Amino acid sequence: METTGIQTLTHFIGGQNVEGQSGRFGDVFNPTTGEVIAKVPLATREETREAIAEAQAAFPAWRDVSVAKRAQVLLNFRNLLTQHLDELLAIICRESGKTIEDAKGEVTRGIESVDLAIGAPHLVKGEYSVNVGGNINAYSAKYPLGVVAAISPFNFPIMVPLAQTSMAVAVGNAVILKASEKVPMTALFISELWKKAGLPDGIWTVINGDKDAVNELLEHKAVKAISFVGSTPVAKYIYETGAKYGKRVTALGGGKNNMVVMPDADLEQVAEAFMGAAYGAASQRCMALSTIMPVGQETAERLVAILKQKVAALKVGSYEEADTDFGPVISAQAKEAMLAAIKKGEEEGVEIVCDGRELPIVNESKGFFIGPTLFDHVKPGMDVYEQEIFGPVRNIVRVETLDEAIQLINEHELGNGVTIFTNDGYASRKFTTEIDVGMVGVNVPIPIPVGYHNFAGFKDSRFGEGHMFGPDQARFFTKTKTVSERWPEAGSQMGSTFAFPSND
């Protein structure tokens, strides 16, 4: 795939690059320069139905391939990801604006999901019971669902799609990925790697599009499961619509993630941890820290003084500059949203510790840059407190006690991630026990689980019961069949019984 000039992209259907037929295209930008680098086709419902039909036709043969052979394809794919790392990084940085270091971290985390999927033979093992009653043996076995779909966000062009799809492929499903129309080039590139790895045509599909494609995936009878990652309002829509049409759905939404800082914590270490976790990737992570909660006024005053210096020293720039801490937000609209959020914070009475509007690059570059912004004296009820701000505008919320911090966090409608920094074991245990959030850290700035642990938030950060990472993926993308069997001796008589079966 070329990485220069304006490209006209395709879909990937039936193992081939397929030109769009709708006549509708979306612009793909390089956020660093503001330039259009590609045109992505936006599929019609009919095109999406054709892609589903291709996947449906390919599924039976892949279902019947042994788990060991499927695992070998996954291993081939993993090796290709590492062999083509430099090409992947170039595409990810160009279409998302991420720094090279951040993109490397994303690829590494994505490969963790492939690693777990290579072990799918272990995760799909069934159970067997001998002589449960009347010489009957019982066993359970896991079978793939059929055609499944993943709808992925712009902020992780490779990590989230791999987390959503690797296990689905490994356990025998045919997978359709509706990649974000903002970052479609990475998905198309890994499509080529799946084909080189030996995956049969039709088992991996990329359909590019907007709401038309999404709604067809949600409503089509052949699509058995939907995995979604994105904003909370859209996650709720995906869940409700998919469930209405009888699908298995896991829809992960936004987060308003907090770092609670106890008075005994090393504040220099806290500030260093907060920098990367709050502002990395221009804060466009569902697990980014949006709020830091120092406990006690003395802690707050000391911490704010340290943070002010560190935030002001952050370097915002192009991924091609080695000393860049973070790059642009994804689009001009996202930049405008950040500027509006800062203005709203001013109107609500926050104290601006660092103002991201003041950097020259924000006003002089054609790229979608916004500088790091830090608000102090943010309070519940303010928009900047209640809403997820998907960009480098972060909050300080002062609390007097750990109990107050726990109460505020638990009362918020989002419950994705949270962390506490402390040297007090009792405070840590109290926090991890009482907090109502799906992913919890102790002296860990971003408590995102490794690929072999389950990933999902609570409350309005997740709709449905599935997870994105971890062994729960194998359960989500399979159905369990339970068989009871008896093999009577030749010539024996079983007789009739009208009582409900029991083990007596």
Active site residues: 286
Q: Are strands 248-252 and 351-354 parallel, antiparallel or unpaired?
A: unpaired
> Are the C-beta atoms of residues 403 and 412 closer than 8 Å to each other?
no
CA distance 347 to 264: 34
Query: Max alpha carbon distance in the chain (Å)?
Result: 91
Provide CB contacts within 8 A for 474, sequence distance 6+.
120, 123, 124, 142, 167, 171
Read off the tokens for 300.
Answer: 């707050």
Tell how far CA 45 is from the center of its chain. 25
> Are the C-beta atoms of residues 225 and 149 closer than 8 Å to each other?
yes
Q: How far apart are the first and last CA of the chain?
A: 66
CA distance 389 to 288: 10
* Selection from 250, 231, 253, 230 nearest residue 239 by Cα: 250
Q: CA torsion sign, 281 to 283 to 285 to 289?
A: positive
* Selection from 112, 103, 82, 105 nearest residue 450 by Cα: 112
Alpha-carbon separation of residue 200 from 67, 73, 161, 163 (angstroms) = 14, 10, 19, 20
Tell how far CA 58 is from the center of its chain. 27
| Count of residues in the chain | 504
* 15-31: burial string, b at 16+ Cβ within 10 Å, e else: beebebebeebbebbbb
CA distance 2 to 421: 45
> Are the C-beta atoms of residues 25 and 10 closer than 8 Å to each other?
no
Side-chain-side CA neighbours of residue 418 (13 Å):
28
* 430-454: burial string, b at 16+ Cβ within 10 Å, e else: ebeeebebbbbbeeebbbbbebeeb
What is the DSSP code (8-state) at residue 243? H
CA distance 464 to 479: 16
